[in-house]
Homo-oligomer: A and B are copies of this chain.
C-alpha cells in the first residue's frame, strides 16, 4: 500500500532491538578480556589480551566466510537439512535480498554470539597454550563446530530445535539464549583444552596441593569485567527473544531481563555466602564468580521461567560451580578463570532446569503451539517430561559433537608438541616471547631484542 505500514515499523523496531542487543553482546568481549587479564599473572598479560582480541577478529572473518552459512544457510529453494546449513557463505544471499526482507541484523547478532562462544576457552588454557594451537582452535570453532550446533538447536530445520515441524520427542530442546550453544559448547572445549594442555608449571605441588598465588592479580579488572559481562548479558538474554514488537514479544523480552537480573544478584550473594562458610572470608572474587554463575545458569531458560525461578537456578548454579571448581582442583585440572565449572557446569545445570521449571504459558508465548506436536513444558509444572528428555539429549549430543572435534584436535596438537609453549617461555612469561610485547615499564630487566624497530 502507499505510505508506511505498521508491519514496516515493527520490522524496523525489531531490527533496532537486535542490533543494539548485539552491540551489548559484543561488549562482553571487553568484559572477558578484562576478566582474564585480571586473573592471570602479569607476565602473561599482553598474551591473554592478544588471544582475547584476536579470537574476536579472526572469528569475525570465519563466521562471515563459513560459520553463518553452516548455521543458517539455505539452498536456492529455501531449504536446509536437519543437520547442517549450506548456503549464504560470505553473505552471498543476503547481499541481494530485498529491502523488506533484509537480514543483516540477524547476521550481526549471531556474529556476536559466535565470538562469545569462542572466547570462553581463552581463559581456561591461559598462560601456557601455544598461540598457533589456540588460533587453530578458534578457526575450527567459529567456522564449523559452533555453527552446526546452532543449526541443530536454533533453526526451524534443526533436528533438536523446538521450531522444527516435527520436533524431537514432540518438544525439541529449549535453549532460549545459548546455555547449551554458547556456554556448554565453550565449556566443553575448555575442559578438553585444559586437560590436554596440562596445568601451569607450579600450579599444583607434588602432593597435589594448590598454589594460591596463581590467581587474582588485579581485582579492579575482574570487577570491571564482571560488570561489563553483566551489562552485555542484557543483550545476550533478552535480545535472544529476537523481536520486541508486539505485546507478547515485549513481555518476553522484559521478563527475560528481570529473570536475568535476579539470577545475577542472587548467584553473587549465594556464592559469596557459601564460600564464606567454607573459607571464612568475604571474597569479592567469589562474588564475581557467583554473579557470572547466575547469569550462565539462567541463560537457557530466561525467557520461559518465572523470575523467582531465576533466583533458584542461580543458587543451584553457585553450588554447582563451587563443587565443580573444587573437583577440578582435586583432579589437578588447571583452568585459570574457572571456565569449566562456570560455563559447562552452570550451563548444563541450567539446561536441565528448563526441563523442570519452564512454564506452559511462557513456552507457548514464545515458541507457539506446534500444530501436530503441541508444546511441552517443565515437568515440575505438570509437563510430561518430554521437554526434560529433549534437554538431556540436546545437551549430551552437543557436548559429544564438540568433543568429536576437539578431542582429536588437542590430542594431536599435544602429540605434535604444538599445544604448549616451551617451559622456559612459560617461566619467563609469554610476554617476553615473540607472542607478546615486552613493555619496559613492566619488565625493566628483560634484555631488549635487537631487531628492526618498526613502531
Contacts and interface: CB of A to CB of B under 8 A. Distances in A.
A411 interface: no
A254 B104 contact: yes
Contacts of A49: 219-220, 223, 284
A98 to B, nearest CB: 8
A272 to B, nearest CB: 7
A132 to B, nearest CB: 10
A152 B280 CA distance: 42
A82 interface: no
A230 interface: yes
A303 to B, nearest CB: 11
A282 B223 contact: no
Contacts of A288: 53
A285 B53 CA distance: 10
A160 B99 CA distance: 29
Contacts of A215: 455
A95 B56 CA distance: 39
A8 interface: yes
B19 A249 contact: no
A254 to B, nearest CB: 4
Contacts of A278: 452, 454
B99 A30 contact: no
A8 B246 CA distance: 6
Most chain-B Cβ atoms within 10 A of its Cβ — which of A10, A248, A284? A284
Contacts of A231: 23, 26-27, 30
Given A6-B5, A213-B440, A306-B95, A265 B102 contact: no
A227 B261 contact: no
Interface in A202-227: 209-210, 212-213, 215-221, 223-224, 226-227
How many copies of this chain? 3
Given A30-B224, A49-B219, A258-B107, A248 B437 contact: no
A332 B10 CA distance: 55
A10 B91 CA distance: 29
Contacts of A77: none
A70 interface: no
Interface stretch (A59-67, A189-197, A370-378, A383-391): A59-67
Contacts of A20: 20
Interface in A23-62: 23-24, 26-27, 29-30, 33-34, 37, 41-42, 45-47, 49-50, 52-54, 56-61
B436 A268 contact: no
Nearest to A282: B435
A253 B221 contact: no
A78 interface: no
A254 B307 contact: no
B54 A269 contact: yes
14 contacts: A4-B246, A10-B12, A11-B250, A23-B234, A33-B223, A34-B220, A45-B220, A53-B227, A57-B266, A57-B269, A57-B272, A217-B439, A279-B454, A283-B437
Identify the 10 closest CB pairs spanning chains A and B, nearest first: A60-B265, A30-B227, A104-B254, A57-B268, A102-B251, A105-B254, A50-B284, A15-B250, A57-B265, A99-B247
Interface of A: 3-13, 15-17, 19-20, 22-24, 26-27, 29-30, 33-34, 37, 41-42, 45-47, 49-50, 52-54, 56-61, 64, 90-91, 95, 99-100, 102, 104-105, 107-108, 111, 131, 209-210, 212-213, 215-221, 223-224, 226-228, 230-231, 234, 238, 244-251, 253-255, 257-258, 261-262, 264-266, 268-269, 272, 275, 278-288, 290-291, 306-308, 311, 322, 325-326, 329, 338, 365, 434-437, 439-441, 448, 451-455
